[in-house]
Amino acid sequence: MAENTKVVPPKKSANKATDPKSSGSKKRPKKAPVTVTSHDFGGSEIGIGDLVDITFQRTLRVSESGLNGLPPGLGMFPLRAVESLGDRATAAMVERGGVVMPIYQREAMWLSFHANVPVAIQIATGLRCAITGNELEKRLRHRKQNFLVGTTQPWLDGFKTESGEVRQFVAARLGDGATVEEQLSDESPVGGVQIVVWELTDEALARWKSRQDRWVDEMPSVSGMCFSIAPLDCRMDMGVGAGGLIQQEIYRSDFAKSDWKSEPSARVWVHLTDASNWTALTGEPQPSTPVTARTYADWGYPWFDYFDADHVDVDGSPVLAGVKTVGQVLGGDDDGASMHPGAAVVTHLGPSRRPQRVRTPRWD
């Protein structure tokens, strides 16, 4: 039986970019209840009322050389409400509230969004936008898009570096200089992942629903909330660095700026801690170690591709394109799994098949 726990919101905002009080005296949107549900089969999901479920997926770390397909999901990360930790929670965790998640050094992850209606989702690591590389802003930009749309984008595997490509999200301890935020900012690192979600206005939502009579979107949805994934206040602090290249688009929004509400409706902090600290923190067994490239090859897992010909990819970020990978900073062998396009089994998941480029040399 799944266990459902209410997540207590932070007592106060730790950053202006995600502080709802910084926008003046306008009427605040109604807050959506935040819960975390633990499943018997392992892993947890965050629920925002009956609007959305969001999960953090364990996955295979891909090679830092070459271009890879989307790696598989290897199960959801476990999440625990900070309130359930009692006096084992750190002062920073108590201050921020939310949930805590274990992850190993150099373990990869991807985020899954299940939205029933369109929502604009800003994603940052260490308060650096994962799409633009700029500081997280409490606003949506459309010319240089700094968000993704929940119903259009089912997953995000990494930082937007080039057209059609992202660099995989890979965990790294703060202080080693391997996280993206440590490379882009001179400020003391805060780690983690911040997610801010914005709802459509009532009028824009009504227009969208009126266009859905012919088909039903299979991607469920989020409505107005802000996540922040931050590290523990100890030597187990974790942030997010860049890994290998993955073929993935981040689709441009079809909505106008005026279609979105002026503020997000809820927020939660998801604190990242080194998985070796999990038992001391929660009293539960330490999670299994990540699947290795050798095991992946032995099991014959397929790679995946998601493509939607009806939507346009946003531009890559020159800021993020220059970031060093975790392997380049920390050294060691590149033991990530490699995708060999000539032999790899690729399962197509998107609404369209990706067109194949045709070489056209002179022949006349």
* For residue 237, pLDDT beyond 70: yes
CA atoms of 281 and 87, how far apart (whole Å): 9
CA atoms of 102 and 104, how far apart (whole Å): 7
Q: What is the mean pLDDT of the segment spanning 85-100?
A: 86
Q: Residue 8: which pLDDT band, with cuts at 50, 70 and 90?
A: low
CA atoms of 97 and 121, how far apart (whole Å): 21
Residue 219: per-residue pLDDT: 40
The domain limits of the chain are 3-348
* For residue 316, pLDDT beyond 60: yes
Better-predicted residue by pLDDT, 17 or 197 = 197
Residue 16: per-residue pLDDT: 41
- pLDDT tens for each residue of 118-147: 889 888 888 999 999 999 999 999 999 999
Are 99 and 229 a contacting pair, CB within 8 Å? no
Single pTM value for the model:
0.84
- pLDDT tens for each residue of 32-52: 788 888 887 778 988 877 777
Q: What is the mean pLDDT of the segment spanning 234-254?
A: 88
Spacing of C-alpha 87 from chain mean position = 29
Average model confidence (pLDDT) across the chain? 82
